[in-house]
């Protein structure tokens, strides 16, 4: 499930915990998966008898007809999965969920994580959570961009945020990707299980969508500007990237 990218805009200090969340800059290689449908061709044999003008069957020697080679059935035509537009701030439940996530991450709040993950057992220890955010002071300007998934009531969420590092004045722009599902009670949760192959491929492929690439390019532009403005941020950022 490891996602590969040409460049990361910010070394993520927050562990994925199996939820498929990573700081992004540009899309991976194209590899869209499609759902196959099967076209069935039914061949009907003409079993009618030849009749004479009286309606009686003609008797006599029957001349065998030459057997014809059946036409092969066409190969199934792949049906592309639906791809939805990126929507900005149209899902208040998801925005609330993601703000709860960053708050729980910042506070290393294991109990809160249990309420926002699809699998409450898949949570890191408090010690690991503390290590993940050892340099982070706060997450600001959290803004959600949402694409519907191909499965009903699932969503791919891109969260723009600005990370305030300890002892550095300028926050670092970042965009994180999440997969969000809806439970039986209608509550949205951050997916924390294992992707099946089709869902994982679809999740990755959305990084190739023009509207997502535009969002990531805007994040990169802000990040470049922030590093140019603050030499301390640039120095710290470069060290994080070099330690990956």
Please state the domain extents for the chain.
Answer: 99-231
Tell me the C-alpha distance between 176 and 160, whole Å. 7
pLDDT exceeds cutoff 80 at 91: yes
Query: Can you give the pLDDT at residue 69?
Result: 53
Between residues 75 and 233, the one the model is more confident about: 233
Residues with Cβ within 8 Å of 146's Cβ and at least 6 positions away in sequence, in order, are: 86, 87, 88, 90, 91, 94, 155, 156, 157, 158
The whole-number average pLDDT for the span 86-96 is 94
Query: Can you give the pLDDT at residue 48?
Result: 43
The distance from CA 109 to its chain's CA centroid, rounded to whole angstroms, is 26
Does the domain spanning 99-231 belong to CATH 3.10.450.100? yes
Between residues 110 and 23, the one the model is more confident about: 110
- What sections of 43-156 are H helices per DSSP? 92-107, 110-116, 126-132
pTM for the model: 0.71
What pLDDT digit, counting tens, does each position of 42-84 carry?
333 344 444 444 444 333 334 444 445 555 566 666 788 999 9
The whole-number average pLDDT for the span 204-222 is 98
Cβ neighbour number for residue 4 with a 10 Å cutoff: 7
Query: Can you give the pLDDT at residue 243?
Result: 79
Compute the mean pLDDT over every residue in the chain, rounded to the nearest whole number: 78
Tell me the C-alpha distance between 173 and 164, whole Å. 9
What pLDDT digit, counting tens, does each position of 108-148 carry?
999 999 999 999 998 889 999 999 999 999 999 999 999 99
**Cβ proximity of 28 and 7 under 8 Å:** no
Closest by Cα among 25, 17, 3 to 173: 25
**Cβ proximity of 230 and 169 under 8 Å:** yes
Percentage of the residues of the chain whose pLDDT score is greater than 70: 68
């Amino acid at each position: 499930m490891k996602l590969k990218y040409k460049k990361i805009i910010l070394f993520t200090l927050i562990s994925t915990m199996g939820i498929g969340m990573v700081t992004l800059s540009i899309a991976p290689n194209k590899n869209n998966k499609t759902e196959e449908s099967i076209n069935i061709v039914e061949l009907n044999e003409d079993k009618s008898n030849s009749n004479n003008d009286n309606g009686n069957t003609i008797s006599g020697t029957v001349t065998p007809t030459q057997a014809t080679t059946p036409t092969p059935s066409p190969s199934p035509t792949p049906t592309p999965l639906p791809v939805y537009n990126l929507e900005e701030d149209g899902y208040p439940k998801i925005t609330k969920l993601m703000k709860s996530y960053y708050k729980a991450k910042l506070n290393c709040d294991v109990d809160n994580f249990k309420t926002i993950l699809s699998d409450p057992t898949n949570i890191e220890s408090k010690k690991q959570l503390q290590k993940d955010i050892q340099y982070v002071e706060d997450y600001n300007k959290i803004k959600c961009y949402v694409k519907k998934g191909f499965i009903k009531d699932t969503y791919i969420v891109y969260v723009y945020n600005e990370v305030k590092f300890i002892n550095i004045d300028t926050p670092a722009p970042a965009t994180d990707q999440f997969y969000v599902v809806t439970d039986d009670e209608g509550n949205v949760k951050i997916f924390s299980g294992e992707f099946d192959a089709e869902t994982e491929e679809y999740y990755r492929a959305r990084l190739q969508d023009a509207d997502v690439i535009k969002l990531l390019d805007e994040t990169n532009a802000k990040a470049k500007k922030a590093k140019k403005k603050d030499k301390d941020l640039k120095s710290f950022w470069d060290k994080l990237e070099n330690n990956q």
